[in-house]
Amino acid sequence: MTALKIVVVVPDLDVQDQNDDHAISQAERSRALRIGLLESGFNLIASLPADVFLAERIHQLQPDLIIVDAESEARDALEHVVFATRDARRPIVLFTDDSDTTHVRDAVAVGVSAYIVDGLSSARIRPILDVAMARFEYEERLRDERDDARNALQERTLVDRAKALLMERQGLSEKDAFTKLRKIAMDKGLKMGEVAQRTLDMAALIS
């Protein structure tokens, strides 16, 4: 965990009005989060604003985990982070003092691995990130298994269609049609689905 490269997405921490207790509190809790990460030995590589340049900066930094430190603007910050990670998924942890958790379901749906309310104590940071990483890795395995199953089903469908075509056009039995497709795949170093798709495409061209 300590070797993970972490980026924290934070609101504007420049307190313009020293009498603005809310802004001061927000700045203090954001500093507390970053200090907690450093004290826990994490590799905090950058603190970034949630702006239109976030995607470019994340692409350049290639962090392993993203922490969103937000309060009332949590939804806007999340939108920026989700957009920035749409092509390369990463675990996202949201820390907030906002007790309104009506957006938790939406946050999880868009890829937030942990939604933490009032959880900035240093002692809590490591277990929170451990759980977030474990959940992200579990969901990625499920995603991969789903994609593998979907691809396998698509390949079987293509192979069945190609077999039916060979049986009809060349008078082959189902077994011989499958054997022919498999031999072509082995000879050409292709997957069965690729051979089946090429067979169907060729038939469509000459029909």
pLDDT, tens digit (0-9, with 9 covering 90-100), for 54-78: 888 888 889 988 888 765 455 666 7
Q: Which of 26-40, 52-66, 97-111 has the lowest mean pLDDT?
A: 97-111
Given this model, what pLDDT does residue 72 score? 47
Judge contact between 66 and 91, C-beta under 8 A.
yes
Given this model, what pLDDT does residue 58 score? 86
Given this model, what pLDDT does residue 165 score? 94
For the chain, give the mean pLDDT.
80
For the stretch 124-164, pLDDT in tens is 778 888 888 888 888 889 989 999 999 999 999 999 999 99
Q: Is the pLDDT of residue 168 over 50?
A: yes
Percent of the chain topping pLDDT 90: 29
Percent of the chain topping pLDDT 70: 77
Given this model, what pLDDT does residue 156 score? 94
Q: Please compute, for residue 104, the number of CA atoms within 13 A of its CA located in the half-sphere on the CB side.
A: 11
Reported as type and span, the H/E element at residue 188 is helix 174-188
Q: Which of 19-28, 167-176, 187-196 has the lowest mean pLDDT?
A: 19-28
Rounded Cα distance, 73 and 77, in Å: 6
Nearest to residue 38, comparing CAs of 82, 67, 6?
A: 6
